Structure 1
């Protein structure tokens, strides 16, 4: 499914997400390592955190062919095993929809970034308009969609959650994207935020 989505435009979204990054980066919820090929050479190291064993194994394989140094570790977004201010940048890509405690995960991301660091995000979010907004909320409340989609929630307002966690959003692009011909178009946000004072 990820390869199909990349062919339909997700690879370009990943490139935009990571363009211009530099220094030491933590990627939380690295999944199968789909972002690794898109990190620019100005990145000195990526520490990729992935809790799910099968995906972590795929990420470890992808790390071997990445153009930058990538270390894959087990861990949870809500309890990152790093010191305060340890990273120049943090990346989340299609993960904040599924973490059990989104607010806590965002607080942890803010904690591990240094004061001038940046958060890069690419996430699907709740639609702005009805009736899709109400349908997505219903799917989440029923528990049906999260049960089918590994904990994914369609109705999270992740942009608002990033701001509520103390980040200042510098850029936020809204994208309507269909990853497969028979799937609905989903709203995504792609952008950059920095830790607030």
Structure 2
């Protein structure tokens, strides 16, 4: 499908190591928290390596995992084989999801809204594909509430963005979700410290939101 891909060859090579390190220090628990209670048909937007697949609960009927980066998508296809629930990996971008209207119970964003170029378009697409009563789940890097730490994020963000597959650590993702027409129902804000240390990507949120009525 034309226009569905992005290419981050350097990031795709180093991200498996970054992810393994993060999972060894608490990211697995974050993924489990993100997906607890998820059920029905799920679309995961920006599935990356497929690291969430093993954490979907048995009440999930199917996961459609959308990933535009071909190297990461190949890894996700391998992870889908080991998943406990049916997973279909598709090429596609968050801003134009390869999915029908009103077709999913849950849309999952996991460490991806920091990289998407057009966040309002991606959230609008998530809203489009959600069935009535559906919800989004999100686990994201965000801008810090601490002004001094936020200044550090802004200084380092250009380099971080270049090396991190487009990751922007200065985004106010909770506000973006609300401005896209969602009501945040649950949210936990935290600093993901590894070995007691924070980095520019440490300020994080995990939560649930539903389309506003």
Kindly state the Cα deviation for residue 90 of structure 1 after the two structures are TM-superposed: 0.5
In the alignment, which residue of structure 1 is the partner of 2:208? 192
Q: Give runs of ≥4 in structure 1 deviating > 3 Å.
A: 179-183
Give the aligned length: 195
Kindly state the Cα deviation for residue 146 of structure 1 after the two structures are TM-superposed: 1.1
Pick one of 171, 176, 195 that aligns with 1:161.
176
Kindly state the Cα deviation for residue 181 of structure 1 after the two structures are TM-superposed: 6.9
Counterparts in 2 of 1:72 and 1:179: CA distance versus 1, 3 Å: farther
SS at 1:64 equivalent: helix
TM-score, length of structure 2 as denominator length:
0.88
Q: Take 1:45 and 1:180, find their aligned partners in 2: how far apart are those partners?
A: 36
TM-score, length of structure 1 as denominator length:
0.95
In the alignment, which residue of structure 1 is the partner of 2:150? 133
Q: Take 1:95 and 1:103, find their aligned partners in 2: how far apart are those partners?
A: 13
CA RMSD between the two structures: 1.4
1:19-66, CA deviations, whole angstroms, 9 ceiling, x for partnerless residues? 101100000000000000000000000000000011000000000010
Q: Take 2:46 and 2:78, find their aligned partners in 1: how far apart are those partners?
A: 16
Q: Which runs of 5+ in 2 are unaligned?
A: 1-17
Counterparts in 2 of 1:182 and 1:128: CA distance versus 1, 3 Å: closer
Pick one of 110, 127, 139 that aligns with 1:93.
110
